[in-house]
Structure 1
Amino acid sequence: MRAVVIRSFGGPEVLELAEVPMPRAGVGQIRIKVVAAAVNPVDLHTRSGGLAQAGLMVPREVIGLGWDVAGTIDEIGSGVVDFAVGDEVYGLSDRLDVPLGTHADHVVLDATAVAHAPRTVSAIEAASVPLGALTAAQSLDLLALTAGRTVLITGAAGAVGGFAVELAVARGLRVVATSRADDEALVRKLGAKFFVPRGVRLGEAVRALVPGGVDGAVDAASLGAEALDAVRSRGAFAAVVGGAEPVGLRGIRVDNTWIRADGRQLAELAALIDTGRLTPRVAETLPLDSVAAAHHRLADTSLRGRLVLHP
């Protein structure tokens, strides 16, 4: 079978579509015949060596790429009781140090890292969801805000930020969103009550809308101290990118969102998709052998929605 791997760090030219042995499902695992797998910024940082330089992974002879996946189970390991061969699922490979990721014809994941796929969208749409939506959901979990509170979402038109807006609204939160000025219509459609265009003094603009500042912030755009200034004293702040977190001034609780695969939470997200409260966004689909083109395309910061490979 085919799989996207790297044997050295560098630009898209180091990506290799290699022939590798078919993986087998072990205890507590399932094997998925991949229908679709999204390309995420973490794939670019893995390929470039940025994550290894940051000490987040160990350089290996062969490293597989790909986190998000949607497809059909074609092998079940012992001890798996919630899934059967033929089930349509979606899931997340959340380990960096693996020889085989989801950018492949087949992938093996722990059963706890997958859920039954949403019924109302295609596999390509489902594959655009896991990493971005789980990051958004787990960031909101860190804030621990109750219904009626106000949250700032930076990068609100992006893959993580867009999901964060919809999930915050689903939790009964009031959303102040910031993104490019031409994203306002999209962000308001996702449910934002207030919108602040990028380029203004964020703290002052947000406080003019929400006196005293918002109760919490999900910093999907890595604005750091600029976004922290919009949060009230003793509020909460979730930094999506490791190393981009500001100092917790004014008693603000600052956390990093270290994403983890969570089948239970994926099932909750699937239910939100099926009831129209969470919207997958696909920017473009490409065949697996065009993975290098996808990496070039993802470097375009104006991209809205995910690029999805389909073997």
Structure 2
Amino acid sequence: MRALVFDSFGGPEVLRIAEVPVPATGPGQVRVRVEAATVHPVDLATRSGALAEAGLMAGGTRTGLGWDVAGVVEETGPGVGSVRPGDRVIGMNDRLDVPLGTQAEHVVLDAHAVAQAPAGLAPEAAATLPLAGLTALQALDALALPEGGTLLVTGAAGAVGGYAVQLAAARGLRVVATARAADEPLVRELGAAHFVPSGPGRLGGEVRALVPAGDAGALAAAVLGAAALDAVRTGGAFAALVAGGAPYPLRGIRVVPVWVRADADRLDHLARLAEAGALTPRVADALPLADAAKAHRRLAEGALRGRLVLVP
């Protein structure tokens, strides 16, 4: 089968398509025929060596890429009862240092990382749910804000931020969103009650003009650090989603670094929300697996609204 790999850290030029054996399933595992796999910033950081420099992976050998997958179950190992061959599923690989990721023709995942795909959603759209959706959902779970509370979401027009706005609004939270001025219509459509355009101003002051006591919490999908923390009330909560992006816990604010993890139950929850139209996957473009380097370059350029998806 074909799989996207790299043998040494570097720019998009180090990516290559390798012919490798189809992976075998073990106990508690599922093999999925990949129909779509999303490209995320974490893929760029893995390929460049940034994550190895941060001590998050060893590297130095052939490494596969890809976290998200949408596809069809081909085979299940002993002990798997949650899915069967022929089922359409979504899943997530949450390991960094692997010889094969989801950006391949086939991938083996643990059963606890796989859920039934949302009915009526194309694989390209369904593949954008796992990593971004679970990150937003697990961050909201960690914040544990009461219904009726206010939540600042930074980077609200991005993949994680957009899901966070929708999930938070569905929980009865009043969302104050920040993104580029041009993204205000999108962010409000996703459920934001208030909008603050990103820019050089004092974010804390602008948020407190809308919420005088400050937000009960913040979900930092964009790294704004102390500026976003200033918008949170004393004793509130702050979810930091990017490594190195956690500010100091000033004023008794509970700062929670969120590291996404595979979770079939929560993934199933996201899938059912998407199935019902309560979550809005956004696909910027779908490209063949062979165009992975092009996808990395486009993602690095920024300004995408929605995710790039690779189709084997």
TM-score normalised to the size of structure 1? 0.99
- Are positions 1:255 and 2:256 aligned together? yes
- Structure 1 unaligned blocks of 5 or more: none
How far does the alpha carbon of each residue in 1:171-192 deviate from its partner, in whole angstroms, 9 at most, with x for none? 1100000000000000000000
1:233-292 Cα deviation digits (max 9, x unpaired): 000000010111000100000011111011100100011111111110000000000000
Secondary structure in 1 matching 2:43: helix
* Alignment partners' CA distance in 2, 1:130 and 1:74: 20
Give the corresponding residue for 1:218.
Answer: 219
Counterpart of 1:299 in structure 2 is 300
Contact 1:176 1:192 in 2 (8 A): yes
| Counterpart-to-counterpart distance in 2, 1:79 and 1:256 | 33
Q: Which residue is equivalent to 1:151?
A: 151
Q: What 5-or-longer segments of structure 2 have no aligned partner? A: none
- In 1, the alpha carbon distance for the partners of 2:3 and 2:120 equals 29
Quote the residue 1:127 is aligned against: 127
Superposed CA deviations along residues 190-248 of structure 1, whole A, max 9, x for unmatched, are: 00000000112100000000011000000010101010000000000000101110001
Shift in Å, 1:120: 2.4
Corresponding letter in the other structure for 2:155: G
Shift of 1:145: 0.5
Amino acid at match of 1:61: T
Per mean C-alpha deviation after superposition, the further-off stretch among 48-57 and 272-281 is 272-281
Structure 2 Cα separation of the partners of residues 23 and 213 of structure 1? 51
The aligned residue for residue 174 of structure 2 is 174
Supply the RMSD in Å over aligned alpha carbons: 0.6
How far off is 1:71 after superposition? 0.1
Using the TM superposition, give the Cα deviation of residue 25 of structure 1 relative to its aligned residue in structure 2, in angstroms. 0.8
Give how far 1:146 is off: 1.3
State the alpha-carbon separation in 2 of the partners of residues 44 and 97 from structure 1: 14
Contact 1:203 1:227 in 2 (8 A): yes
* Matched residue count: 311
TM-score of the pair, normalised by structure 2:
0.99
Equivalent residue for 2:66?
A: 66
SS for the counterpart of 2:301 is coil
Alignment match, 1:8: 8
Give the ranges of 4+ consecutive aligned residues of structure 1 lying more than 2 Å apart after TM superposition: none
- Identity over aligned pairs, percent: 63
Residue pair 1:120, 1:273 contacting (<8 A) in 2 also? no
